[in-house]
Amino acid sequence: MFKAILTRLLGERAIGKAEYFLKPSLKDSWGGPMNGQTFRRRIYADLVRSLPLQAIVETGTYRGTTTALFEESGLPVYTVEASPRYHAYSQLRLRGVRGHVHVYLGDSRSFLKDLARDPSVPRADVLFYLDAHWEEDLPLREEVDLIFNNWERSVVLVDDFEVPGTDYEFDDYGPGKALTLDYLRPLERLGLSAYFPAASPGQETGAKRGCVVLCNDTAVAVALDEIETLRLYEDEPAAGAANG
């Protein structure tokens, strides 16, 4: 009750700014970048090493913990957060690297549409990290659709996704709202190939959240096939086969 009253009095942006200065421990939310998962960070590092990336796009900035990891790549980073509170926090956190890290406030679907129209944003060889899903709002399917209809030779890494046959945690908000391959079935026309972590949950650290890597380009799929931290999922019709 007190927090709700304080938020109404000060506003969400003011709360976010206060948290940045008064609660330094929040910089390591969820145990650090990518939920504190070391194997997930290995997957990310392998993607950066193996693909000729021109930019990184993130949906769901939260407190900028993973965004700060992306900044270290030296690539242009575009990130969006729907919450004014967390957006204000991230703006302060990333203010020293704002030259190549662009922090937006808004809905992830509108954000991707705007990026697709922006001539300064690369339209090929982009890594997308999707983490904007939360409870009632589940934009993932629309995000994936927008990405593969507007960017070429790109790859999508989705957080909180079910890894079939494992005990990795994933987001499940009820019928039709679980982050699974079945959820992506309506996008079969995109010809997506799905790759999952090659490590079991027992070999992972941190929150042990599942993830999936998606692509629909032959050249990208060839590169992903060579990454030892990933395994191709071949038995799911919704995933389809890569195309050129």
pLDDT tens-place string over residues 130-162: 999 876 789 999 999 999 999 999 999 999 999
In the predicted model, residues of the chain with pLDDT beneath 70 are: 1-10, 98, 135, 235-244
- Interatomic CA distance for residues 199 and 133, integer angstroms: 24
Residue 35 phi/psi, 5° resolution?
65, 20
Residue 137: the pLDDT is 82
Shortest CA distance to 171 belongs to which of 163, 180, 160?
160
Rg for the chain, CA atoms, rounded: 18
Predicted TM-score (pTM) of the model is 0.92
